[in-house]
Amino acid sequence: MKTFAVIGLGRFGSAIALELSALGHEVMAVDINEDKVQQVADKVTHAVTADARKLEVLQALGLRNFDCAVVAMGGDVGNSALVTLNLKELGIPKVVCKAQSHVHRKVLEKIGADRVIFPEYEMGQKVAQGLSSSNVLNFIEFSEDYGIVELAVPQSWQGKTLRELDVRNAYHVTIIALRGGEGGTLNVSPRADVPMREGDNVVALGRSEDINRISEVD
Ligand code: ATP
């Protein structure tokens, strides 16, 4: 179990707070708006109405001892930057922030956010990846250059092993897992001599252009 503080209980923050709580973590949910706090109060460990822009408020809440804080106030760049700065000053090891634009993302990264999420942009990319190929089931971008994709095994790969396909040399990606059909078991770091079947999924790690290439295989 870890300790999380979630600051800002809009759609994004409340979803994070409720999910972390459901996963068994200790969650302190903070919002300046009493109604927002009440909406999650009985589902999280602590729910507090407070103005998170004030360093003394963050100190009084004991946030310095938390493992991770999520700044989910996207609406006002200045406020979210101020809260992020104060949380890093307190020494919280991991501060995750929501951005509402590329400039906002840059500001948060510059002042020390450990991870910046731009939900609308990232979700748009995922949807585009999914739409561009009927095989793509999931896509995670690591950086501008690298990502992980989960694909339905292309027809031309069915019945063949990773060794036969020589995937690493032919496509310059690493297959990090195979999933046996929908909802099936995940075989992490699969052996090269396991044949892939119709209905299986492959999870591949690689450069974005190489991932795009295997996403197009029929
Ligand atoms: P959503 O997650 O719904 O997209 P958003 O990114 O548009 O939200 P806002 O609606 O601006 O962001 O803020 C999210 C929440 O943060 C709101 O519930 C708001 O009351 C809360 N909030 C704003 N300022 C503060 C503050 N100074 N201290 C604590 N909470 C705040």
pLDDT tens, residue by residue, 180-190: 865 678 889 99
Q: In Å, how far from its chain's centre is CA 86?
A: 23
For the stretch 30-51, pLDDT in tens is 999 999 999 999 999 999 999 9
Ranked by mean pLDDT, the top range of 40-44, 127-131, 157-161, 208-212 is: 40-44
Q: Residues enclosing ligand 1, CB less than 6 A?
A: 7-13, 30-33, 36, 51-53, 72-76, 79, 98, 100
Residue 213 has pLDDT above 70, yes or no: yes
CA angle 13, 15, 17 (to 5 degrees): 65
Q: Of the ranges 16-30, 129-143, 168-182, 197-211, which is most confident?
A: 16-30
Half-sphere exposure of 180 (CA within 13 A, CB side): 8
Cβ atoms 214, 166 nearer than 8 A:
no
Indicate the top mutation candidate among 31, 34, 39, 118 to test ligand 1's pocket, ranked by most ligand atoms within 8 A of CB: 31
Report pTM.
0.75
Q: Residue 31: what pLDDT? A: 98
What lies within 8 Å, CB to CB, of 35 at 6+ separation is none
- 96 closest CA partner among 10, 11, 13: 13
